[in-house]
Amino acid sequence: MNIADTLSLSIRTIRSNKLRTGITVSIIALGIAALIGINTAIQAISQKFMESFSSMGANGFTIRYRSAFRFDRGEMKKEEKGGKKLKKSNTNKPITRDQAEAFKERYKFPSKVSLSLSGGNTNAASFGNKKTNPTVWVNGGDENYLDMNGFEIAAGRNINELDVSTGRNVCLIGKDVADKLFGTSNPEAPVEKIIHVNNIPFRVIGTLEPKGSTFGRSLDNNIITTYNSVRRFFTSSASSTFTIGVKTDDISLIETAIGEAEGIFRVIRKNEIKEESNFLVDKSDAFVELAMRQIGWLTGSAVVIGFITLMGAAIGLMNIMLVAVTERTKEVGLIKAIGGKQRNVRWQFLLEAILISLLGAVIGIFIGVLLGNIVSMLMSTGFVVPWLWVFLGVLICSIVGLAAGAYPAYKASRLNPIEALRYE
């Protein structure tokens, strides 16, 4: 018997035991589908996350109010690199407009500075007899806000310095708001129209290019106006806090830019020399780094789930192959009686186990990629195929088949042909 005859016999044996083969293939396919599916979804999430946070770029950072991101009660003390401990600041208050504008005026580093203020996401916009749900995000910014946050104008113009300084009621609207209020795909239709946001009139000076959604939130269901308008109409001055965004001209200067920004803002915020800063400086890539760490945990969990399932599949496959050896004892005896050698019998059972594993791998990969790309579709990313995990899935299933079939194949090859033929 040559290898082609052995392979042909293995395929016929698999086809003649459809139920047993189907159960084993299903177990293996489930493990591979879990492994490939979760990793496909994670790759889609990673892609969307990188797109979402790439708007500011690696050469940008933000200055934020510390209390919004801090969960201690003030007892914790920050430690400097030199080992000195800084005492807790007593002036930990929201960043005011005067402080934000003072920073923008004093910060002379080659960069763009943007001031912004959130107006929340419980706002409703209306035009004529059409009205949006009260879920519209309102954000206040300045002339650099769009560039800093990755927005592009579809029609009309951007907010300018005069709009900001006078605080006049002008705004730019996202695609979702434009579609709801004006019912047209023409981005120029809303320009120069008067809409009402929470019953406050605003003149639309421009529309925004669509950005899609991130983690279930539409980035197009928004209205952007000046931060002075947000401060007047959408927040209380006691609770509002400004965010300062900075984008440097050269990525190699980012650390220098951060150092200078922190030094200037510590003076503005009246921090003493031995006090910790009562604000946070966040590099844009710090968000990506944090998310990638969490995604790494998800990937590890997916691998563990997949391997546990495949381990169970390997045990089940070995058990089935041992049963097959017992059932086909006479067949093995006949093969040996007509001149078949031990290696022929070993190869027959090994090939059966490997073919069953590879069949499970193919089905599992197909299901896993399909399920993973459902997440990709929901997040509006491109079709994702994790080729590395596909290759690993095939390799793992080949090893599983080889490992599960090795002992049954050895046991079958050691059968005495005379005793095997007499087996009942």
> Looking at residue 134, what is its pLDDT?
92
Give domain status of residue 279, yes or no. no
Which H or E run includes 113? strand 111-118
Give domain status of residue 280, yes or no. no
> Looking at residue 397, what is its pLDDT?
77
Number of domains within the chain: 2
pLDDT greater than 80 at residue 64: yes
Q: Single out the residue of 101, 105, 60, 61 nearest to residue 249, CA to CA.
A: 60
pLDDT tens track for 208-248: 999 887 666 788 999 999 999 999 898 765 568 899 999 88
53 Cβ partners below 8 Å, 6+ apart?
Answer: 284, 285, 287, 288, 291
Kindly report which listed range (19-23, 68-72, 192-196, 202-206) carries the lowest average pLDDT score.
68-72
Taking the CA atoms of 406, 409, 410 and 411 in sequence, report the sign of the dihedral they define: positive
Average pLDDT in the 382-404 region? 79
- Are residues 106 and 249 located together in one domain of the fold? yes
> Looking at residue 351, what is its pLDDT?
79
Give domain status of residue 41, yes or no. yes
Radius of gyration of the chain (CA): 33
397 or 154: whose pLDDT is higher? 154
Give domain status of residue 100, yes or no. yes
**Of 216, 243, 270, which residue constitutes the final position of a domain?**
270
Q: Single out the residue of 217, 198, 408, 251 nearest to residue 322, CA to CA.
A: 408
Whole domain around residue 197: which residue ranges? Answer: 92-270
Q: Single out the residue of 401, 298, 295 nearest to residue 355, CA to CA.
A: 401
Share of the chain above pLDDT 90, in %: 28
pLDDT greater than 50 at residue 73: no
- Are residues 150 and 43 located together in one domain of the fold? no
**Of 236, 270, 304, which residue constitutes the final position of a domain?**
270
- Are residues 338 and 240 located together in one domain of the fold? no
Give domain status of residue 186, yes or no. yes
> Looking at residue 76, what is its pLDDT?
37
Give domain status of residue 170, yes or no. yes
> Looking at residue 188, what is its pLDDT?
92
- Are residues 155 and 246 located together in one domain of the fold? yes
Give domain status of residue 392, yes or no. yes
**Of 270, 302, 320, which residue constitutes the final position of a domain?**
270
β partners of residue 161 = none
Phi then psi for 138, rounded to 5 degrees? -115, 125
Residue type, 137: W
- Are residues 240 and 298 located together in one domain of the fold? no
Residue type, 391: F
CA distance 45 to 55: 16
- 201 HSE (CA, 13 A, CB side): 5
CA distance 59 to 257: 10
pLDDT greater than 60 at residue 250: yes
- Are residues 319 and 246 located together in one domain of the fold? no
> Looking at residue 235, what is its pLDDT?
79
**pTM of the prediction?**
0.56
Burial of 109 (0-12, 13-18, 19+ CB in 10 A): middle
pLDDT tens track for 294-325: 667 777 776 777 677 767 767 777 777 777 66
pLDDT greater than 60 at residue 287: no
CA distance 400 to 133: 54
Encoded tokens for 421: 């033929």
Q: Are 156 and 191 in contact (CB under 8 A)?
A: yes
Give domain status of residue 200, yes or no. yes
Calculate the dihedral angle through the C-alpha atoms of 275, 280, 283, 285, rounding to the nearest 10 degrees: 120
pLDDT greater than 70 at residue 339: no
Which of the residue ranges 15-29, 109-123, 331-345 has the most confident prediction, judged by mean pLDDT? 109-123
Q: How confident is the model at residue 74 (pLDDT cuts 50, 70, 90)?
A: very low
- Are residues 11 and 46 located together in one domain of the fold? yes
Share of the chain above pLDDT 70, in %: 72
Across the chain, mean pLDDT equals 78
Using alpha carbons only, give the angle 50, 214, 247 rounded to the nearest 5 degrees. Answer: 50
Q: Single out the residue of 394, 402, 393 nearest to residue 318, CA to CA.
A: 402
- Are residues 210 and 252 located together in one domain of the fold? yes
pLDDT tens track for 268-286: 988 888 888 888 888 766 5
- Are residues 97 and 198 located together in one domain of the fold? yes
Residue type, 36: I
Q: How confident is the model at residue 355 (pLDDT cuts 50, 70, 90)?
A: confident
Q: Are 18 and 286 in contact (CB under 8 A)?
A: no
pLDDT tens track for 93-111: 889 999 999 999 999 998 8
Q: How confident is the model at residue 189 (pLDDT cuts 50, 70, 90)?
A: very high
> Looking at residue 114, what is its pLDDT?
93
β partners of residue 279 = 65
- Are residues 47 and 169 located together in one domain of the fold? no
Residue type, 108: K
> Looking at residue 66, what is its pLDDT?
73
Residue type, 223: I
- Are residues 159 and 203 located together in one domain of the fold? yes
- Are residues 249 and 197 located together in one domain of the fold? yes
Average pLDDT in the 173-179 region? 94
